[in-house]
Structure 1
Amino acid sequence: MTRACEHPDGSHTGAVPNLASATVGARLWLLVEYDGPWPSHLESFELPERISKLVQRALERGIRPQLIRRPGRRARPQEQDLRVLVGYAVGPNPWLASGVIAGPEDLDLDALVAGVVPESCILEDEPVFLVCTHAKRNACCARIGLPLARTLAENWPDRVWETSHVGGDRYAANLVCLPHGIFYGSMSQAAAIAAANAYRSGEIILDRYRGRAGIPEPLQAVEHFARTHTGERSVGAVAVESSRSDGDVTEAIVRCGDVRFQVVVEPSVLQAPCGTACAEQITTYRLVSLDRLRPVRYATPALT
């Protein structure tokens, strides 16, 4: 059943805080092209047998499965080889690879789990952009996502895909940038183009930035506040070196370029501007403190 919401006040415009909301369980990705109807939940396995088996194998290994299709007119699904993309969105050197397979057993998902490109795939040298348009999951994802996907595809026709549910319907339209797994939400067409251009240049735009997938939400918040404080935009320039939690409070040491900070955050619950299926209460994060750490200086031993 499609979840719909009524937004007379123009929600999904970025008014609701969306920081630290990227999907935590998405460090490994499997994208399967399928032009047929998408079920509301992939784990229901209401798909052709080959795709259902591939989705099941992915779920058993902790891999995030997604259905994808090109923006625009739908082609009638035919029995043919499957086009797939696999993504390893872990650490400072993520990668994305693509291939065409005859069946689910032809894709070595254990290799992906180990961080190795499966033999049936080749590395991609350009980023890929996913826009959630999953109408059976939430009507707003299709209503806002479809025109956004078409606009992005006009700029990068070979790098943009519509995709099934990515998490966070209340933040539609959602944009995912692979291979890093960078999430944006509440995207207008202009904001999506700006975010895609920035990512192609190795940068992040903090406006409507949800975080990086696969990272615990408190640490996504830590990164967000460190970037806000320093203005650091480079995708790989910010890293959490260590962290600890005491109840709801999380303290972390964060490196921004050559500078390190101690950042403390805690959750904060806000009432959304519209009480709908898409947005009721929103859990976000509040910055408690952010302090620059002095570099450790070691004394030079005296020569004898």
Structure 2
Amino acid sequence: MTTPARFLCSDAARLRGDPIAGTAPYGSAWILIEYRAGWPPNGFAGIALDPGVKARVSAAARAMRARILLIRRHGRSRSDERPLWAVLRYDAGSAHTQKWGTWGDDRDLVEIVAAMDTPGEQGHPSVILVCTHGLRDTCCALRGRPVAGALSDVWPQLVWECTHVGGDRFAANVAVVPDGVYYGNLDALSAVTVVEEHLSDHIHPNHLRGYTDLTPPQQAALSAVLHHAGPSRRHDYVIEETVRDDDRWRVRVTGRLAGLSTFQVEIHARRARMHQLTCRALSPSSAVYYDVTSLHAG
């Protein structure tokens, strides 16, 4: 008897040709907690911490709409060093901030709450997060760990493995924070190229899921502009206007620098057929995708 092939959501998504543009989750703040023990399927909510501390951190995160991610270094225990925590914020003016600390006792994590009420520090390098959350989704581990290894070989101080960032079927997923840029469908080779370009402030659209300060239709519109006009820096374009008419959007994307054009992009939202979208999904579900129907300058 032939053993059925194991279902992998990222393989299925690639075969279907699932669009990647417009799939980055919204976010302008991230809480990172280095946690070296095993990561439960539900991440921070499932780890063994003092309930009062966990409640305070969770409440503060909800108030700021911050995503809490567990992190760890690829292939390293770092047992001789205190684990780290961080609060990272995106700023539309590109003055992104970070605040880092260490913890040894659960109660030390209350400092995260205080850090969320302080301005933070500018000038820190970007943090490169690679989702390797295998207990959440098999593809995140199978595709994420080789990417984390390749990136860690080049940028060992910037790269962390992390828990679920969303979009399992687009594994390997990389989130650059607090820049607020998500990439997907990466492998070890393409990830090094994408991150190298990103750190040079040169964003290509091929693996771009989107900018986390934009809505999905705006992300899709900007991706279309980058495909048409070429790669750009993170803040070279601004969304000037977004008009919705039922399942269609008209998005005006304007270049902020001399030589960059203004584009009118029309987007159509469509709901795809029902599929098993993640490796561990118990039933089929449907995703919404944002197709570009027209793009013109002016």
In structure 2, the partner of 1:218 is: 217
In structure 2, the partner of 1:139 is: 138
Larger gyration radius, structure 1 or structure 2: 1
Task: Note if contact 1:46-1:52 (Cα within 8 Å) is conserved in structure 2.
Answer: no
Matched, 1:105 2:107: no
In structure 2, the partner of 1:302 is: none
Task: Note if contact 1:198-1:204 (Cα within 8 Å) is conserved in structure 2.
Answer: yes
TM-score, length basis structure 2: 0.83
Please give the secondary structure, in 2, of the residue aligned with 1:134.
coil
In structure 2, the partner of 1:65 is: 68
- Offset at residue 243 of structure 1 (A): 1.2
User: Could you list the per-position Cα deviations for residues 266-304 of structure 1 after superposition, in whole angstroms to 9, with x for gaps in the alignment?
Assistant: 1134459x75634964432111222222xxxxxxxxxxx
Question: For the residues of structure 2 that align with 1:74 and 1:55, how far apart are their CA atoms?
Answer: 26
1:177/1:110 Cα in 2 relative to 1: closer, same or farther (>3 Å)? closer
Question: For the residues of structure 1 that align with 2:115 and 2:254, how far apart are their CA atoms?
Answer: 33
Unaligned runs of 5+ in 1: 294-304
User: Could you list the per-position Cα deviations for residues 170-227 of structure 1 after superposition, in whole angstroms to 9, with x for gaps in the alignment?
Assistant: 1111011122111111111111001110111001121121001132101111111111
In structure 2, the partner of 1:89 is: 90
In structure 1, the partner of 2:20 is: 18
In structure 2, the partner of 1:285 is: 290
In structure 1, the partner of 2:48 is: 47
Question: Identity rate of aligned residues, in percent?
Answer: 25
Question: For the residues of structure 1 that align with 2:8 and 2:66, how far apart are their CA atoms?
Answer: 34
Question: For the residues of structure 1 that align with 2:78 and 2:196, how far apart are their CA atoms?
Answer: 29
Question: For the residues of structure 2 that align with 1:129 and 1:43, how far apart are their CA atoms?
Answer: 19
Task: Note if contact 1:45-1:52 (Cα within 8 Å) is conserved in structure 2.
Answer: no
1:188/1:216 Cα in 2 relative to 1: closer, same or farther (>3 Å)? same
Task: Note if contact 1:29-1:87 (Cα within 8 Å) is conserved in structure 2.
Answer: yes
In structure 2, the partner of 1:165 is: 164
- Offset at residue 138 of structure 1 (A): 0.6
TM-score, length basis structure 1: 0.81
RMSD over aligned Cα atoms: 2.8
After the TM superposition, which segments of 4 or more aligned residues of structure 1 sit over 6 Å from their partners? none
Task: Note if contact 1:41-1:137 (Cα within 8 Å) is conserved in structure 2.
Answer: yes
Please give the secondary structure, in 2, of the residue aligned with 1:111.
coil
Amino acid of the structure 2 residue aligned with 1:290: L
In structure 2, the partner of 1:234 is: 233
Question: For the residues of structure 2 that align with 1:224 and 1:22, how far apart are their CA atoms?
Answer: 12
